[in-house]
Structure 1
């Protein structure tokens, strides 16, 4: 029979165990933090992450390291974080691909909703339709005609199934009712290298990966995927200006921790993310890349959770309508 003292002792031990994560959270972080980018180095998500990581490092007093885990349209890196220890030292910065993967992959190694704790939205980046600098079409109208005439003879680079670059290409081909030959890469960083070298015809990618090359005249730009032209690329028309209506696509990015991460740690990371996005260097660098940080109200767990759920439903319908088979 248990005595009162035994019961009290057991309760004390249990209470200590329950309180332990919060005690740990009070000292967090005590070591470097890794943010996994599920794409190769040099791509648009990598660029965004490195800017944010540097600013978060200053705020947290610990180095925030970026680790690139590319492959399978971002699902390999996301799966690695989902399986990581939920102590706040392994995070994921992913883009819209978190919401498209359920419709694109028959079997995912994670559930985007239940296997992650959302920390906050980061930014929404416009896309650009670009091509090698010696590609024959000069305008968006010329490009549309060229793709319709040549179809699968046109090579289109992307970062694999579910990547933003592939989604944009699917929408573009659907608008033209024409198929191009897709050439998948581990990320749009290496794809851009081949585009610059003339080994590939065209690509649709985020301004964070294309702006400097467009401005330098190293690649051709045909259109942006925003309703209006953007300040950093004022001479690049919108898709609507070229005759393709209702083609709008912005690639949102979010920061996540593995499911079960202590709420106090998530709160601290959210605060740090908000500090980073308010950093003048981050804002200026984002502007130079054709984007901007989200507001403090959007850089929250609730805002990211809502965006993810809405976008999973939206892209499920879009991808089904496009007739894309799950891999």
Structure 2
């Protein structure tokens, strides 16, 4: 009799497991049956938003349901990330985020989510190169001249950024570390005001992404000292890399990845990844990102594994630097 009861319990457990698996499979097969929300942590019209809307249009065509961009701004992108981490893991609320996913744990001591553990990975999207620029009348004209100028003038040199945790701040911190010289940091409430200050000669230097800086560089309104990628970029073929100028190993870029809440089924995440990959081959998306100076990542990075490995590597790169410099928001 006892053996019968044990067997009955065992069979009930197997049946329940099978039913759960069947339900998950049916949900994945039916996905998507309604619009999907792509949460963007930054304001409408900004670089990440522009990338997101171009991609959302292409993914809409692939998925057969609208991918709606929703901007949830605040606290360096952590408001949006926390919102998606708490969302239902059904594939209808997903997140696009940049380098802030790697740096947030070092900047916010009371972070309500773990970027490495509280999400399912979909894939990387595109990299946006950055440019190191100076005001038009800055005495230095080449990177070696700039390094000498910075070391001679030290804290008299002002280095603008777009606020705590912004990639422009990270780029500036890495530049200071590379030249072993501290400058006067001048934070602004966004990339636009920081660039305006540089154009007006109110600050000496700014490191910002090509999506914002290309027009100013091409018009000769600023001095360009180099691009921050490992290789020269097609949008500015004449511009040397900072590595070419003597800063060995210097590489900073704005990278974007897509995430879903932890627990989203493999079938659904696979469907979103496939839509992402096809969206990144869409001619309209390719043309728009190229126009912005962005570079679509290789196919092996447009995967959950590719994004997971990159996020871990970027976390290991930036978090120790930020903690050593005691840069935080709390």
Deviation at 1:16, TM superposition (A): 5.0
Unmatched segments (≥5 aa) in structure 1:
none
Q: Give the TM-score normalised by the residue count of structure 2.
A: 0.84
Aligned to 2:167: 164
CA spacing shift, 1:241–1:74, aligned 2, 3 Å: same
Q: How does 1:241-260 map to 2 (within 5 A)?
A: 241-260=244-263
1:36 to 36, 39, 46: 39
Secondary structure, aligned partner of 1:223: strand
**CA deviation string 1:102-126 (max 9, x = no partner):** 2333221210122111000112222
2:279 to 276, 288, 292: 276
Does residue 46 of the first structure (1) align with residue 49 of the second (2)? yes
2:234 to 214, 228, 231: 231
Secondary structure, aligned partner of 1:222: strand
Aligned to 2:76: 73
Does residue 118 of the first structure (1) align with residue 115 of the second (2)? no
Secondary structure, aligned partner of 1:297: helix
Q: How does 1:57-72 map to 2 (within 5 A)?
A: 57-72=60-75
Secondary structure, aligned partner of 1:241: coil
Does residue 25 of the first structure (1) align with residue 28 of the second (2)? yes
Root mean square deviation of aligned Cα: 3.1
**Kept after mapping to 1: 8 A contact 2:164/2:329:** no
Q: Give the TM-score normalised by the residue count of structure 1.
A: 0.85
1:90 to 93, 112, 120: 93
Q: Which moved more, 1:229-238 or 1:212-221?
A: 212-221
Q: Which moved more, 1:11-20 or 1:275-284?
A: 11-20
CA spacing shift, 1:9–1:229, aligned 2, 3 Å: closer
**Kept after mapping to 2: 8 A contact 1:40/1:186:** no
Aligned to 2:108: 105
CA spacing shift, 1:113–1:10, aligned 2, 3 Å: closer
**Kept after mapping to 2: 8 A contact 1:42/1:189:** no
Deviation at 1:170, TM superposition (A): 0.4
CA spacing shift, 1:15–1:243, aligned 2, 3 Å: closer
Matched pairs, number: 325
Deviation at 1:41, TM superposition (A): 3.2
**Kept after mapping to 2: 8 A contact 1:37/1:67:** yes
**Kept after mapping to 2: 8 A contact 1:120/1:301:** yes
Deviation at 1:148, TM superposition (A): 3.1
CA spacing shift, 1:157–1:63, aligned 2, 3 Å: farther
Unmatched segments (≥5 aa) in structure 2:
none
* Cα distance in structure 2, aligned partners of 1:227 and 1:11: 53
